[in-house]
Amino acid sequence: MLVIHGGPGLSHHYLYPLTALSASRQLIFYDQLDAGSSEWPNDPKNWNVPRYLAEIDALRSHLGLDSLIMFGNSWGGTIAAAYAARRPPGLTKLILSGPLIDTRRWALRACLASGDTSSEAFAAATDLFYRRHLCRRDPWPDFVAATFEPRLFNKRCYEGMWGPTEFISTGVLRDYNGSAELASIDVPTLLTCGEFDEATPDTTRRDLDVMRFAAAIPGAEVVVFPNASHMTFVEVPESYLSVVRGFVEAAPETAPAAAVAVAGERRAVGRGLLNGASPCTWSTGGGFYAYPFTAYWNATSGDYGWEARIVAPSQAVVGTSSGRRRRRRRGEETRGREAVTGVGALRFGGAADVYDRPYAEVLDPAVEVGWAAWLVPPEVRPDPQRRGEWTSRAFVGTRVSTASHTFCGCQSMRGDAAAFRLTEHGRASGDIPPRPARVPWYANLTRREISAQIRATCAALARRTSCPEDNETAYAEWASGRDNGTYWRLPPWVEVYSSLPV
């Protein structure tokens, strides 16, 4: 494992806790040019990302590193990510710890672009910032303090490349943005950061920057460490090393699923979450259904479905153009249909022979079969405000076997390592084109064709709809009667699942 330190201009000493990983593999620490124990020519011509990438090539050639894992912290993450985006031969995994990817999204660059940086007040503010967002251990360990000693810390390089302090960038990197290159990374990637990390400067935001960067890397995994900041491996070494060991020692997957997790509750979520079956134990439908009923999720194909037995049809709630509710009469939508023979009505297997078989039979009217297709797929991420919880937002279209409508609307989920709640809101309804009498709308359609019809029906609405930020806003909008006048709105629909899909 090649370990790349931050800075620029720092030494590798603060990364000492990572030496515990050497029990299972060789670790290589080095000091970059103009840093630590390496030479300090202090030539500004050397202070650019391409030269530091060339330094990696020279190091690999000199040491014969044909195969390696790369670890980069902070500015070291800048180098590691840019290097990995070149898809170099022999790179097997990548770990980015609080990486600098986009200077515009780092700390408080715009807050103090000018002024006296030599005053005592400024020094005090800088010290406070460092102890809150750089390293929260008090006092700092000797190996961290040593990194900032004049003999190891090249301040001239740091200021020339970055600026006078962590939250002001006036140097070469002031306009750096490597986010466009992230999609080119093709190796398993782990991104880590602390809850109070300067790499995620505003912890009150709903979307952490590191999460945004991870979303751009195919198959990336993110772990956020509570009560830690930029030097997570110093502040919570046992948790950090456990996560890194698990990632490094895991067998590579042929098609890794994007995942995020909260340290200490390492149940991965993301695309990998929404694959499998999970039981619904309650919904807005109330006594209309028998619980639990099963939902089947397939994030790979971008759709899901459910099969629920109807026990009290008279209790069904349906929206109307005036926003009022009415009761569905028994048999109103299913009159004259025969029960389906055989099993596997949902056909959520993912294989072509499953998705491309038409529904030749009429489904049992006492069972609601539902089909759903995501037009905007769920973006699942940890909730920075509620430790151990995750959220997602999406836009979805649905149809059911017992009605002749397509429902389109915003969808949100909230859950933890054990269960989750799904809410659909802002839903519009459009009639499915009629078919001959006694012929259900799904007759002779395949699962793939149903999904295609749903997406075609909801596409225009998905493009122009602004989804509510949260469930509370959704309910408030519905209760106030807000509508764009082009479709009738249904009350928000909620489903509760007692376990994650398995």
- pLDDT band at residue 257 under the 50/70/90 scheme: very low
Residues 43 and 124 in one domain: yes
Least trusted range by pLDDT, from 29-43, 187-201, 274-288, 394-408: 187-201
Task: Let me know if residue 375 belongs to a domain.
Answer: yes
Please, which residues have CB within 8 angstroms of residue 15's CB and are 6 or more apart in sequence? 3, 5, 29, 73, 233
Structural domain of 379:
275-497
Write out pLDDT tens, residues 4-28: 999 999 999 999 999 999 888 899 9
Give the pLDDT of residue 109. Answer: 42
Does one domain contain both 215 and 249?
yes
What φ, ψ does residue 494 adopt, rounded to 5°? -120, 140
Can you tell me the distance from the alpha carbon of 454 to that of 399, in angstroms, rounded to the nearest whole number? 7
Q: How far apart are CA 311 and CA 289, in angstroms?
A: 5
- Whether the link from the prior residue into 8 is cis, omega within 30° of 0, is yes
Pick from 267, 235, 263, 285: nearest CA to 419: 267
Pair 396, 445: CB distance under 8 Å: no
Q: Is the pLDDT of residue 308 over 50?
A: yes
DSSP state of 177: B
CATH of the domain at 160: 3.40.50.1820
Q: How confident is the model at residue 414 (pLDDT cuts 50, 70, 90)?
A: confident
Give residue 481's pLDDT.
62
Residue 361 and residue 482 in one domain: yes
**Average pLDDT estimate for 241-255:** 73
Return the pLDDT at 478. 66
Q: Provide the percentage of residues in the chain whose pLDDT is more than 90.
A: 32
Query: Is 388's pLDDT higher than 80?
Result: no
Examine the pLDDT at 114 and tell me if it is beyond 70: no
Residue 314 and residue 458 in one domain: yes
- In this predicted structure, which of 85-94, 153-162, 323-332, 364-373 has the lowest mean pLDDT? 323-332
Q: How confident is the model at residue 482 (pLDDT cuts 50, 70, 90)?
A: low
Assess if residue 502 is contained within a domain. no
> What confidence category does residue 426 fall into, taking pLDDT thresholds of 50, 70 and 90?
low
Cβ(372)–Cβ(348) below 8 Å: no
Geometric angle at alpha carbon 223, from 219 and 226, rounded to 5°: 165
Q: Are residues 313 and 242 in the same domain?
A: no
45 within some domain: yes
Query: Is 478 found in the same domain as 342?
Result: yes
State the average pLDDT over residues 133-137. Answer: 89
Please tell me which residue, 426 or 411, carries the higher pLDDT value.
411
Answer whether residue 462 is part of any domain. yes
Is the pTM above the cut of 0.85? no
What is the structure's pLDDT at 464? 66
381 assigned to some structural domain: yes
Is the pLDDT at 65 greater than 90? The verdict is yes
Catalytic residues: 74, 197, 230
**The predicted structure's pLDDT at residue 148:** 92
* pLDDT (0 to 100) of residue 150: 94
Same domain, yes or no: 106 and 238: yes
pLDDT surpassing 90 at residue 155 = yes
pLDDT for the residue numbered 39: 96
Assess whether 407 and 360 both reside in one domain. yes
Residues 143 and 191 in one domain: yes
Closest CA to 459 of 384, 399, 375: 375
DSSP string, 257-309: PPEEEETTEEEEEETTTSEEEEEEEEETTGGGB-SSEEEEEETTTTEEEEEEE
Domain count across the chain = 2
Domain annotation covers residue 265:
no
192 vs 40, which has greater pLDDT? 40
> Looking at the domain assignment, is residue 270 inside a domain?
no
**Cβ distance 306 to 279 under 8 Å?**
no
What average pLDDT does range 85-108 have in this prediction? 87
* Range of weakest confidence among 146-160, 351-365, 372-386, 435-449: 351-365
| pLDDT tops 80 at residue 211 | no
Q: How far apart are CA 332 and CA 240, in angstroms?
A: 58
Does 290 map to a domain?
yes
Residue 146 near residue 13, CB atoms below 8 Å: yes
Shared domain for 20 and 100, answered yes or no, is: yes
Query: Who contacts 25 (Cβ-Cβ below 8 Å, separation ≥6)?
Result: 1, 69, 248
DSSP designation for 106 = S
Q: Does residue 435 share a domain with residue 362?
A: yes
**Between 441 and 300, the higher pLDDT residue:** 441
- The mean of the pLDDT values for the chain is 78
80 and 189 in one domain? yes
